[in-house]
């Protein structure tokens, strides 16, 4: 992973890493979540509102599942916590903005 450039390079011999990324990105809802986060960090509630604005019907528990899959693939991360009405809200952000998958080694 290139922290400064926002890229994640998948090594062609690391099939498990490749599977995690493909599994995380196969779902259209997760692409909408990525789109919601493209301009910066958002709370879970803000992501849910963003999805609803995009006519995506998802429950809170469904959103947490999708965020967990994206986190496990190294695509999003928890940037911190915000107190809202006594309950802490996770603040999510994109960990990478580009994934590079070479098909052959050079």
Distance between CA atoms of residues 12 and 102, nearest Å: 6
What is the Cβ-side half-sphere exposure of residue 66, based on CA atoms within 13 angstroms? 23
What are the tens digits of pLDDT across the range 30-43?
999 999 999 999 99
What are the tens digits of pLDDT across the range 94-106?
998 888 777 766 6
Domains of the chain: 7-96 (1.10.10.10)
- 95: CB partners within 8 A, 6+ apart: 8, 74, 75, 76, 77
Two structure tokens written together for 80: 């911190």
Contact at 8 Å (CB) between 23 and 66?
Answer: no
What are the tens digits of pLDDT across the range 49-79?
999 999 999 999 999 999 999 999 999 999 9
């Amino acid at each position: 992973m290139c922290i400064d450039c926002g890229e994640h390079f998948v090594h062609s011999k690391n099939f498990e890493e490749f599977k995690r990324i493909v599994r995380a990105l196969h779902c259209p809802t997760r692409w909408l979540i990525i789109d919601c986060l493209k301009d910066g960090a958002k709370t879970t509630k803000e992501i849910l509102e963003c999805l609803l604005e995009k006519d995506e019907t998802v429950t809170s528990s469904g959103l947490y599942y999708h965020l967990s899959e994206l986190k496990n693939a190294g695509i999003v991360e928890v940037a911190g916590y915000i107190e809202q009405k006594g309950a802490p809200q996770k603040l999510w952000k994109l960990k990478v903005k580009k994934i590079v998958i070479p098909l052959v080694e050079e």
